[in-house]
Copies of this chain bind each other. A is one copy, B any other.
């Protein structure tokens, strides 16, 4: 793989050992040079700004972790793409969550790669991203298509109204109808109406299953 230019890469990950391992390994690859690192999103933006104003070598591509303290990968990607539009970003994460894949791509990442890929695949993805040819695992692309299908199939979410979503969240916190009524300043009757609508719309049988639904979706802490 003879590329005339050297790819300058930045690694953003809160795990010291992932960062160190990646940079150690990637530095051995010909054509790749790790020129910057950061442990979270905020730091990454600061580092980038520092490189910019001091006219130092600027990364062509960022390997960005999703879950980080201070500022996560999605938000950082969004911000970074706005500030430096010609910089590529590959989101690198441990988990496959359909929603996150969508968000990541929407935020402007060219690629979304699971940490479980082999190191060869990662290098391949980096090379691809550098040339504007996004590469992603088959699992990721499947997740993406699932996400798109869900999106087009069910409008924006599930067709839940604002009020219904509020009630749903309170149910997911274990609140009883009476408590929900007091919290939302409405009558128990109204709460029951919303609950019935939720049961119908989400196609489940009782409030316990509603709570489980929310937690499975990862909407709750």
Q: Which residues of A contact B (CB under 8 A)?
A: 14-18, 20-22, 24-25, 28, 94, 115-119, 122, 171-174, 176, 204-209, 211-212, 215-216, 220-221
Assess the A204–B17 pair: CB atoms within 8 A.
no
Q: A94-B94, A208-B211 are in contact. List 18 more A-B contacts (CB 8 A).
A: A15-B115, A15-B116, A16-B117, A16-B122, A17-B22, A17-B122, A18-B18, A18-B21, A18-B115, A21-B21, A24-B28, A171-B208, A174-B204, A174-B205, A174-B208, A212-B220, A215-B215, A216-B220
Assess the B17–A20 pair: CB atoms within 8 A.
no
Assess the B20–A25 pair: CB atoms within 8 A.
yes
CA distance A181 to B119 in the complex (A): 50
Q: Which residues of chain B are within 8 angstroms of A176 by Cβ–Cβ distance? A: 205-206
CA distance A221 to B209 in the complex (A): 14
Q: Taking CB as reference atom, which chain B residue is nearest A171?
A: B208
Q: Which residues of chain B are within 8 angstroms of A209 by Cβ–Cβ distance? A: 174
A119 is contacted by which of B16, B115, B221 (Cβ under 8 Å)? Answer: B16
CA distance A15 to B206 in the complex (A): 39
Assess the B18–A174 pair: CB atoms within 8 A.
no
Q: Dominant SS at the A interface?
A: helix
CA distance A172 to B211 in the complex (A): 9
CA distance A177 to B122 in the complex (A): 49
A-B contact pairs, 12 of them (CB 8 A): A16-B117, A17-B22, A17-B117, A18-B115, A21-B22, A24-B25, A174-B205, A174-B208, A176-B205, A208-B208, A208-B211, A215-B216
How far apart are A204's CB and chain B's nearest CB, in angstroms?
7
How far apart are A117's CB and chain B's nearest CB, in angstroms?
6
Q: Which residues of chain B are within 8 angstroms of A20 by Cβ–Cβ distance? A: 21, 25, 119
CA distance A20 to B25 in the complex (A): 7
With a 10 A CB-CB cut-off, give which of A17, A116, A209, A216 has the most chain B CB atoms. A17
Q: Which residues of chain B are within 8 angstroms of A220 by Cβ–Cβ distance? A: 212, 215-216
